[in-house]
Amino acid sequence: MTQLSPLSLYPSPFPRKLFQQAVDVQKAMLLLYFRASCDFAFLKEAHREDYMASENDDGQYELKQVEVNAGAIGCFAIASRFSRLHRRMVSNAGIDASESVMPSDQTDTMVAETLYQAWLEFGNAEAVILFLHGNPNSHLMLESRQIQHQLESISTEGIKCRFITLKEGLNRLSLDPDNFSLILDNKYVVAVAFDRIGVYLPKEEVDLLQITIARSTAIKAPSLALALTHTKRMQQVFTRPGMVEKFFNNPEEAHMAEAIRQVQTKAWAIGDDEDEAEDIIKKATENPQKYVLKSNECSSEVAGNFFNEDIPKQLATMAPADRDFYLLTEKLRPMVVKNHFIRPNMEPALNVDATPELGIFGCLIGNTETGKVSYFSRTGHMMKTKLASVDEGGVWKGYSVSDSPYLV
């Protein structure tokens, strides 16, 4: 079974300084979201991160965070293949393709090594690594198989991997009543549950399965608490004064909080009980081109992002009670480059204006009860580059392609 992925013909230029800034802030960002997931009171009240090079008022480009993702992240198993392909294309064109301009990417190996480390920490040689999927025919399943192959190549213990869908999981997973082990098919103890389900599925069924897994002793990737922190609402909460610093109160970690602050995009809650809601709604209505209206969740039932004149239309018709499900962010002014888009079943788009979005991959293993981190890795990246003429991207919608950075 094969599936063609949309891609750019060549790597897209990206500022070297901003690439390194994105790499350097990754550990701090992972720690922020992990520590927040350990604070139940904070979650009750209230990680692929993606970045754009955005032009500021002085005409200079600066790194700005678009979103933070965890769990069912796409392309991590094939990002390194795009890097190798683009390195070959550039080299064949007689252009420098060394690692100084095209950084090495080992995302698939990083994910496999992290799962292997988690399996070792679980401490049961007979336990399995479980991949949970929503659709058995999706590209995420193909990527999971690639990770399985990586696991087989780096381990000598004969790790067993099992793949099940959401509906299968509801019937095939159970809890041991004595020790709360997660059991598959009344036979296999699950060491690591890797959630690749995604968001476009019946919420009640997803919640039911996630609660079963959350109650178990299996190592969760991600945990339910961590998944709750990876929402646009939490990104907005972290922009408030003191919210990032709350999780870096050790003076030796102050630089981490500052690094996060430098890349944050401005965001505002518009719920009925927010003091600033009416003021920011008024500004967005009068100058919608400066803002993006975003849903706090991605699902088949909730519309995603609204731009330009659609913003005042949505705000005018939105019931006050529905405002809690949305927020406003500043609209970035991304860097525009030229590239060629190669997409399955579509004519190539040649020499088009495009805007690259850099993704930095990182993995962390931690104990949510103690807050202690036992493992951290950051060796992966990729880019999604969309047509500059559209507001909403999407690789599988035909508006974006998988890309690699060429540092300038």
| Residue 40, pLDDT score | 87
Range of the domain at 181: 107-221
Same domain, 236 and 358: yes
Q: What is the pLDDT of residue 79?
A: 87
Q: Do the annotations mark residue 143 as ligand-binding?
A: no
Is 161 annotated as a binding-site member? no
| 13 lies in the same domain as 73 | yes
Do 131 and 187 have their domain in common? yes
Residues 304 and 232 in one domain: no
Asked if 230 and 175 sit in the same domain, the reply is: no
Taking only the tens place, the pLDDT of each residue in 265-308 is 999 999 866 668 889 999 999 999 999 999 886 544 445 799 99
Question: What is the model's pLDDT at position 200?
Answer: 54
Task: Let me know whether 88 and 16 are in one domain.
Answer: yes
pLDDT at 300 (0 to 100): 42
* 292 assigned binding-site residue: no
Q: How many domains, the chain?
A: 3
Any known ligand binding at 298?
yes
Per-residue pLDDT band for 199 (boundaries 50, 70, 90) equals low
Q: What does the pLDDT read at residue 387?
A: 95
**pLDDT per position as a tens digit, 49-97:** 677 888 888 788 999 999 888 876 777 788 899 999 999 999 999 999 9
Does 174 appear as a known binding residue? no
For residue 41, the model assigns a pLDDT of: 87
Q: Is 299 annotated as a binding residue?
A: yes
- Is 304 annotated as a binding-site member? yes
| Whether residue 175 is found in the same domain as residue 36 | no
- The answer to whether 186 is a known ligand-binding residue is no
Ligand-binding annotation for 302, yes or no, is yes
* Whole-number pLDDT of residue 298: 56
Known binding residue 300? Answer is: yes
Flag whether 64 is marked binding.
no
What is the model's pLDDT at position 272?
63
How large a percentage of the chain has pLDDT more than 70? 94
HEC string of the chain equals: CCCCCCEECCCEEECHHHHHHHHHHHHHHHHHHHHHHHCHHHHHHCCCEEEEEEECCCCCEEEEEEEECCCCCCCCCCHHHHHHHHHHHHHHCCCCCCCCCCCCCCHHHHHHHHHHHHHHHHCCCCCEEEEEECCCCCHHHHHHHHHHHHHHHHCCCCCEEEEEEHHHHHHHEEECCCCCCEEECCCEEEEEEEEECCCCCCHHHHHHHHHHHHCCCCEEECCHHHHHHCCHHHHHHHCCCCCCHHHCCCHHHHHHHHHHHHHCCCEEECCCCCCCHHHHHHHHHHCHHHEEEEECCCCCCCCCEEECCHHHHHHHHCCHHHHHHEEEEECCCECCEEEEEECCCCCCEEEEEEEEEEEEEEEEEECCCCCCEEEEEEEEEEEEEEECCCCCCCHHHCCEEEECEEEC
Q: Is the pLDDT of residue 139 over 90?
A: no
Whether residues 138 and 15 share a domain: the answer is no
Does 392 carry a binding-site annotation? yes
pTM of the model: 0.91
The CATH number that applies at residue 282 is: 3.30.1490
Give the chain's mean pLDDT: 90
Per the annotation, does 75 bind a ligand?
no
Comparing 17-21, 77-81, 193-197, 292-296, the range with the smallest average pLDDT is 77-81
Residues 8 and 77 in one domain: yes
